[in-house]
Structure formats: structure tokens, C-alpha cells
Amino acid sequence: MRVMLNYLKMDMYRAFVNSKFIFTVIVIAFLPFLACAEKQGYSFVNVFSSNSIFEYFNEVTFWSQIGILIFIIISFVYADCICDDLSQGNYIYSITRGNINGYVMSKIICVFINSIVTFITGMLLFAGVSYVLFGFQWEVAGGEINNQYIYSYMTDKTFSGMLENKNYLIFFLCSVGTKSILYGITSLSSLLMSLYIKNKLLIMCVPVLLITVGSYSLEYILPNYSGYKYVYSVDFFNMKDTSEAIIMLGLITIVIVGIITMLIIRRMRRIVVG
């Protein structure tokens, strides 16, 4: 455990104290504006005028094709860390002073946490900038027509009380936090594939392939599969009891991350031994 914590301390420093993290957060904060500009034929007219923060968030994460860029840009931060170590030979020194399991687990934890923190920070930056600089609000005039995201959860037992009391920031954090888990998982898929391919551009594109091809395939295999957008979003809580939804979401995440972890450790052992 102590060995892994030493690895983790170094990885966290590498992941968060670098220009790629700052750049990615800024790009993510800009993407909601770009997504709404895409809706208008890439016209930025009225895009920066007072609007609903929730509607822009919903547009970039659920409806717009621009949202697919989030998967790519988040994997850009640290999902290629093992690939870098392999190309530079640093992994030999790291594993020699510890062990393979600690080395790999540190990378997995760091990539997962970094992806979640990057997305949440980017969305909070978007909310702050749009509110302070452009006069955006959580809820705007026009009722349900201009606030569809909020009103769709007004009758939900999990979030209805929160929204009635206008605890919009907490609801926003719930929405962003739930969605961020998906980006953490897809970044881990990039980490796994970085052990097989060395082209960093392809490594960054792995989440896109996973989401598009993988999701469409599951729709044919599982008749009740509603799509990744619903599983890792607050919509998932609409379908089930709150505690049941949290348990199911946790189990799904643990199983997926567990499988990816075993595959990464297995592949890394082969690389070191072979």
C-alpha cells in the first residue's frame, strides 16, 4: 500500500501540475458555447447573451455532436501516461523500486480521478464565466420552454425537493458529477489501448470509438439498453428508486473499472516479462 501511495503521489503531481490540465479545463469550459453555436449553424450571434446554464450544459453533453470532443480532450490530459513511460523507458525504474501492481493501480486511480476532476472543473468554470461575464442564470424567463432541463426533473423524487428549493448549484454538481464518471471510464479505455498502440492521436480517439461503435452494438444486443447518455446522467435516477439507482450505478462502474484494471495489469505483466 505504501508503495502504491508513493506512485500515486508522483502521478497526481504529473497529472494536475501541468499545462495540459489547465488547457483542457479551459477548452471544456468553451465547448458549451460552441455546441450552441453549432445549433445555429456555427453562428455565435446571441450565443453569449443571457441564457440558461443548464440548457447549455444539456446541449453539449446530450444533444450536440460537439460533445464528443469532450471524450477526446479529457483523455489528452493523462491517459497516455503509461505510453510515455514505455517509450522513454521510465517504467523500468518505476517498477524496480516498487512492483507492477502498485505501478498500474496508481496510474488507473490517477487517470480516473483526473478525468472526473477535469470535467467538473471545466463545467464549473463554464458556469462561473457565463454567470459573471455574460449574465447567464440557472433558470431564465419563459417557464418550461426555456428551462426544459430543470422542468424535466421537477417531478422526480430524487431532485424535486432540491429544485423546488432552488438549490441549482447542488443539482448542477450532481449532473456534472454523474456524467464525469463516464469520462473517467473512457479515459481508462485509452489507458488500456495505449499498451497496444503507440500513436497518441489514436489513443485519444479510443473513447470516441468505444462510445459510438460500442454503444450502437449494445443497443442490438440488449433490447432494454437506453444508451450511455442515460446510464451516466441524472436521467438514470428517473428510472429507479434513488438508493437503487446509486447502487446500480456504483456496481456498473466497479465492474467496468475492474475488468479494465485486470486487462491493464495482465498486459503490463506481459510487457515487463517479455
Give me the mean pLDDT over the 109-116 stretch. 96
CB-based contacts of 73, cutoff 8 Å, min separation 6: 24, 27, 28
Please determine, for residue 177, whether its predicted confidence score (pLDDT) is greater than 90.
yes
pTM for the whole structure: 0.92
Please determine, for residue 220, whether its predicted confidence score (pLDDT) is greater than 80.
no
Name the most confidently modeled range: 3-17, 20-34, 52-66, 91-105. Answer: 20-34
Q: Percentage of residues in the chain with pLDDT exceeding 70?
A: 96
Please determine, for residue 41, whether its predicted confidence score (pLDDT) is greater than 80.
no
Predicted pLDDT at 261: 94
Q: Which of 271, 273, 261 is nearest to 101 (CA)?
A: 261
Q: 209 is written with which cell numbers?
A: 470509438
pLDDT in tens, 140-162: 877 776 788 888 888 777 888 88
Residue 133 per-residue DSSP state: T
Query: Residue 143: exposed, middle, or buried by beta-carbon count in 10 A (0-12, 13-18, 19+)?
Result: exposed
Q: Residue 145 carries which side chain, given as an amino acid letter?
A: I
What is the distance between the alpha carbons of residues 218 and 224, in angstroms, rounded to a whole number? 10
Which runs of consecutive H residues, i.e. helices, occur in 140-167?
A: 148-151, 160-164
Dihedral sign computed on CA atoms, order 75, 77, 82, 83: positive
Phi, psi of 243, rounded to the nearest 5 degrees? -65, -40
Angle (nearest 5°) at CA 171 between 165 and 172: 135
CB-based contacts of 132, cutoff 8 Å, min separation 6: none
pLDDT band at 274 (very low <50, low <70, confident <90, very high): low
Task: Please report, in angstroms and rounded to a whole number, the separation of the first and last CA atoms in the chain.
Answer: 26
Which segments within the chain are labelled E, that is strand? none
Predicted pLDDT at 170: 93
Dihedral sign computed on CA atoms, order 266, 101, 256, 113: negative
pLDDT band at 231 (very low <50, low <70, confident <90, very high): confident
Q: 43 is written with which cell numbers?
A: 453562428
